[in-house]
Structure 1
């Protein structure tokens, strides 16, 4: 039975979910990039007017924006509460919706650095989201395929532990593991697909190492790199 909900890869425009693009447009316009109107939000976000109007009305019911002036099918708005980079999750009645489980997992991973699948599911539940241990494992495996985490353990009855690699903490928005059709990982922080099925993660790992080396600015003091960075670089060179 079809739910009518579009798969993630079809609901996206340029990778990011439509509401994320509209929220970014709202914040930019509120900061002076132009008039905060339904028309401008829809054009800047690449969405149709109806989608922008519905989201703005939902945000208004949640007290995040308020309508200033209506004109024909357009309207101007004021941003009352900037909630940061992540698009507010509200339904058409303005009620808050629980976060995605993978969103909670990515947030926890950025804080604690490593998680097993069961710990990831527990973190999601603590954040008010619903996701099974298997669902958490699938998402973490997707991050491993894209070179965001390493996977250790998983033998002799010990659960696998997924560790976030230094330099792969790309930002607050969770990387999206798309499995329905394309089998790829899209990172909204970078606004690009960082891994596709059949693609080696070696290039991404090496790019991450180079970013870390380029970030070192203590050459004159002899503090060239941490022992961990040197060890990981040697491991890549010897591979």
Structure 2
């Protein structure tokens, strides 16, 4: 791997997404399709999910370890091995580690976004209570940072400013309930909405000076 690739690390979500869907989501949807459930090979999935072989193979190994797939034929090359789906958990791609165990990554932000979509006016404290009541451990500082990013990106309107004795209250703006997948705050200081497949906010470099 080139030094430049090592320094860059993982690409921002908007560069990995196609049509607002991650590479794993595209792989999963193709595996679930009626013509592939009983028998599929990597060549087909790689081509139509528009992913590279390593991305495909890594996720297939996670699905195998988690009991979602069964291998039917070895094949000469790994992209020619034949599998079938044995555990269909629904539309959303299973989030698994390399041992096939469900990961908790992103669950907290998903819960925050879901609560914002379901409820009206609220504050960070109410969000914290709802998220933790769902059994998800998420720091209130993380919630506040996410809310700040959503305000900058135009998702939220402040309905009551904060005072020394009470928290700011806010709600989703009309028309900004864009879908079930939470907008993602990137390390490159952008907010990406996978429902719209669109960058909703990018920090002006001059503002950081």
- TM-score computed with the length of structure 1 as normaliser: 0.67
Where relative contact order (Cα < 8 A, 6+ residues apart) is larger, the structure is 2
Match status 1:111 vs 2:111 = no
| Equivalent residue number for residue 69 of structure 2 | 65
Q: Is the 8 A contact 1:20 1:87 kept in 2?
A: no
1:86–1:67 Cα change, 3 Å: same
| Equivalent residue number for residue 16 of structure 1 | 17
Which residues in structure 2 correspond to 1:67-216 (within 5 Å)? Answer: 67-72=71-76, 73-74=78-79, 75-100=81-106, 101-152=108-159, 153-178=161-186, 180-181=187-188, 183-198=189-204
| Equivalent residue number for residue 47 of structure 2 | 43
1:31–1:165 Cα change, 3 Å: same
1:13–1:190 Cα change, 3 Å: closer
1:68–1:58 Cα change, 3 Å: same
Gaps of 5+ in 2: 1-5, 205-209
Provide the rounded CA distance (Å) in 2 between the counterparts of 1:123 and 1:70. Answer: 47
3-state secondary structure, aligned to 2:115: helix
Cα RMSD of the aligned pairs, angstroms, is 2.9
3-state secondary structure, aligned to 1:25: helix
1:115–1:42 Cα change, 3 Å: farther
3-state secondary structure, aligned to 1:142: helix
- TM-score computed with the length of structure 2 as normaliser: 0.76
The number of equivalent residue pairs is 191
Residue 156 of structure 1 and its aligned partner are, at CA, apart by 4.1
Provide the rounded CA distance (Å) in 1 between the counterparts of 2:9 and 2:111. Answer: 20
